[in-house]
Amino acid sequence: MAAVSAKPRIFVTQPIAESAMKRLRALGSVKVFPDDSRVIPQKTLIAAVKKADILFCLLHDTIDRRVIAANPNLRHVAAQSITPSNIDVAAATKRGIPVTVVPPVTTEATADLTFGLMLAAARRMVEGDKLVRAGKFPGGQSRHLLGTGLYGKTLGLVGGGGLIGKATARRARGFGMRLLYWSPREKPEAEREFGMTRVSLDELLRESDFVSLHPPLNPQTRHMISDKQLALMKPTAYIINTARGPIIDEAALVRALKKKKIAGAGLDVFEHEPKVHSELKRMKNVVLNPHLGSATVEVREEMANIVVDNIEAILAGGTPPNCVNPEVLVK
């Protein structure tokens, strides 16, 4: 792919870190969908792609065949996501368009949020916040919002041998938690470092006070938590998902919560994002976040600048460091 002298037109699907924007403006003509409170509508995205050479997209954007086909001259899909799960890579490859992503730089931020959701759900922090804002204060030793402690409890990490699972385990040690994990393969180094014990998924679900999900989304893990698995959990247990929404069968989760088969949930991701099951929104024992796993200033700035690194490499006629279909770059 030869370098070109003309300034490229770059479209960004939401505002990003200013340091990355400054670099993009030096590379070409940049336009940005200005509203970071919502996902860009698909019609608006397609219209913008028709006038762009490079698409800078985010994890939540759906880059399907219609988007890719909107502009026969589209040169690069540069995603600010670790995996291209919402991108039709095959369609892009067929058209010779490189798709780039970012490396897993969200580990610590996501582990922080995982623990935040555990604490918020178990200690009923969101309910407490709403109570105070409504002018109610039941008293410092009232039983009104009794919750569950984390210290000394059992944490089950599904996919606990991965980066985020291990980072969560590191935090759990500070809470004196007993650590169980399930993974398709043994992780002896993690077992030694964090004192984790590998068990079957069924045993993990039966014994854990908190179940935290960390596997990748693939055909094997889609709906790996459904009615059967939720029925194994303690009625006092909580489930936390900061991985991918479809790992949980959301309808089954609603049934388990309504029947009080489990105590509650902390969810940062959802099966049909950005849509959230209406029943979940009505439940006081569920803490809901709009996919905030990587939402720290430091991490988002790093991610945005890695995307710019990929764009710079493509424009220079080189090989970007994070290309998922490098075969299209063969000269």
Residue with tokens 């030869």: 2
Q: What is the pLDDT of residues 20-58, one digit of tens each?
A: 999 999 999 999 999 999 999 999 999 999 999 999 999
Is residue 244 part of the annotated active site? The answer reads: yes
Q: What is the pLDDT of residues 196-207, one digit of tens each?
A: 999 999 999 999
Q: What is the pLDDT of residues 94-119, one digit of tens each?
A: 999 999 999 999 999 999 999 999 99
Q: Confidence band (pLDDT; 50, 70, 90) for 6? A: confident
Once rounded to an integer, what is the mean pLDDT over residues 68-88?
96
Q: Is 181 exposed, middle or buried (0-12, 13-18, 19+ CB in 10 A)?
A: buried
Catalytic residue among 207, 291, 300, 302: 291
Amino acid at 259: K
Report how far residue 298's alpha carbon sits from residue 166's, in angstroms, rounded to the nearest whole number.
21
Q: Which domains does the chain have, with CATH numbers?
A: 9-105+296-329 (3.40.50.720), 107-288 (3.40.50.720)
pLDDT at 221 over 80: yes
Let me know: does 16 contact 56? Beta carbons within 8 Å: yes
Question: Residue 95 gets which letter from DSSP?
Answer: T
Catalytic residue among 273, 279, 301, 312: 273
Is residue 291 part of the annotated active site? The answer reads: yes
Once rounded to an integer, what is the mean pLDDT over residues 239-257?
97
Report how far residue 327's alpha carbon sits from residue 181's, in angstroms, rounded to the nearest whole number.
37
Written as one string, the DSSP assignment of 52-89 is -SEEEEETT--B-HHHHHT-TT--EEEEESSS-TTB-H
- All residues at 6 or more sequence positions from 165 whose CB lies less than 8 Å from its CB, including other chains: 157, 158, 159, 181, 183, 190, 212, 214
Catalytic residue among 76, 124, 244, 300: 244
Query: What H or E segment, with its residue span, contains residue 96?
Result: none
pLDDT at 155 over 90: yes
Report how far residue 99's alpha carbon sits from residue 87's, in angstroms, rounded to the nearest whole number.
9
